[in-house]
Structure 1
Amino acid sequence: MAVSVKDVAVAASVSVGTVSNVLNRPEKVAPETVARVQDAIVRLGFVRNDAARQLRAGRSRSIGLVVLDSANPFFAEVARGAEERAAAEGMSVLLGNSDQNPEREGAYLDLFREQRVNGVLLTPTDLTAPLADSGIPLVLVDGELPGGEVPSVAVDDVEGGHLAVAHLLGLGRRRIAFVGGPLAIRQVADRLAGARRALTEVPDAALEVIETEALTVLAGREAGEAIGRRRAGERPDAVFCANDLLAVGVLQGTAILGEVRVPDDLALIGYDDIDFAQATVVPLSSIRQPARQIGATAVELLFEAVASPEAAPRHVRFRPELVVRASTAGSGGDPRPGGQIPRRSTS
């Protein structure tokens, strides 16, 4: 049975209020009394329950999570990681889907504030726009604000884009297409920036950008069909998609016309390494993000922000990993993975 503040008070022969002052405002308590209470804490093995303290302050036992697209398996895994970590502290996660709409994002932040959640994990619709003060602790997921005023956890998407295209170039592919969008989404822009950086290392390679309206299978299928309708000499010989859903769509779109074979005619790689990536007709190469670990880490950062609101915000950035499967393997060059087990850096 857990030791309570009341148990400590009885053992130290003081009031519950005095124990509370020792824990929160020790300068208001006589030194000898502080020593007696601290001795009781050690003897009894008392562990301070900050979550309960916040609950007494009027907060609920829940955390808000707002993602760009709850139907995307990547965000589903992020949510699972957040739920598992929150559940370990007896808390729950309330999920909101902004659908890449700033107004919906704002509505969810207002709703969560009204429900007095302990804090919000947010994947912003626009990292370039000023973030409105929600009045509650906030942690950014899958992104970081310029200046770093808000705690964040993300993956180095520029490195991920570089990994993907460097792999394609290593296979001897020189006409690379990037399929993704909207380009205003920071993650998409960063992956494209990494792709462009890889091309600067190979002078005879070219990059075509095919912007999509959404990061969905349907948008990828439309892009794949458009590529498949081109003449052989006018289409790319490799495609890097901003996420796996787009890559699945490109694979479907090229297969519909039957003119393009993956990987012989078109090497194809996605991003996120969702579970479905390895179950497609041609298993997809991808850039893996530790989605569940991202969600769990975001909750950890939120707990830190709640416990120490004056502390400098901490930022965690994971490194991506290249996962090679049949959609690029066997298409010439070196098919071996070039990535590493995801690592993280903190600041």
Structure 2
Amino acid sequence: MSKPEWHHKFTFLFIPGANQSTRRLRFAAYWLFLFPLVLAVLILMLFVWQMDVHKRFTSTISFLRSEISSQEMQYADLKKEKDETIQQLEHDMLRLSEQTEQFMEQMEAVKQLEEELRNHAMLKGGKSSGLTILGEEASSATHPVQIQAAMTPQMPSRHLSTSWKEWTNVHYESLKQATEEASMLTTSLQDAKQQLDNQLKRLQATPSVWPTRTRRITSTYGYRKDPFTGVVRFHQGLDIDGEAGDPIYATANGVVEAAGYSSSQGHYIILSHGYGLQTTYMHLSSRLVKEGESVQKGSTIGKMGSTGRSTGTHLHYEVHQSGRIQNPAAYLP
């Protein structure tokens, strides 16, 4: 039986040159078909690998380009945002300068108000009763004109440079000084307000209005003949004429210390106003307040009458200061 064709042998002779031995290479016939096939498969695999590498390389380049484009857009947005921020900072600084100037003007107005409050708070003796608003050092340390002069540097360029930093530092120091002075003014004005409140409270507690509708005084404060005995005696208050049933008014804010009836005083009311002040109302026809009740200046506390040791309808009105009898006329307008 003959062998298949692919089992035939092929011989290749290699003749390198003269005086050299010949070399032979024998291989089966099927290698003539198998070798090209293997070579083709290898070339195909190499091609596929190259295509895959090219595809991934292309994809990487596309991704990198997309990232670069995104970074460029972000950079452009960031640059735009920074420019807008710088513009906003410049605008805010300009507003800060204007607001600082307005603040200094307002503080000057507050100083004038403080001076007026101090003048209004002066006591009768001409002393401010410890109302020290600002010492000389505080009032002269940071005058608004000095601070305003310190705030006059030119607006810096659009770049955040040293000049910008210096400019902001100047305004910061100016506002810091202004804030400290405003704090001192606030404290002093609070003290002034407290003193004014105290003085107002004392004024409200000081008898200063008429206790009756009428102003007809029938018997003054001082020595007089007793209408019952004819003996000269000291009259401790004022007798004010009026009609029976006329309202009797509290002459100052206070508290009803006593309200009752006696054979000599008739229906009477004693008001305590604080600060050692007391007022007494006698010969009333009726009482409209009770002990411990608070009353306001000008409020009705009773009705005029002629009860007790009295010769006719009238009000006997007394004022006491720290237990000593006072002339009520000195407290009447």
TM-score normalised according to structure 2 size:
0.23
Larger CA Rg, structure 1 vs 2 = 2
Which structure carries more strand by proportion? 2
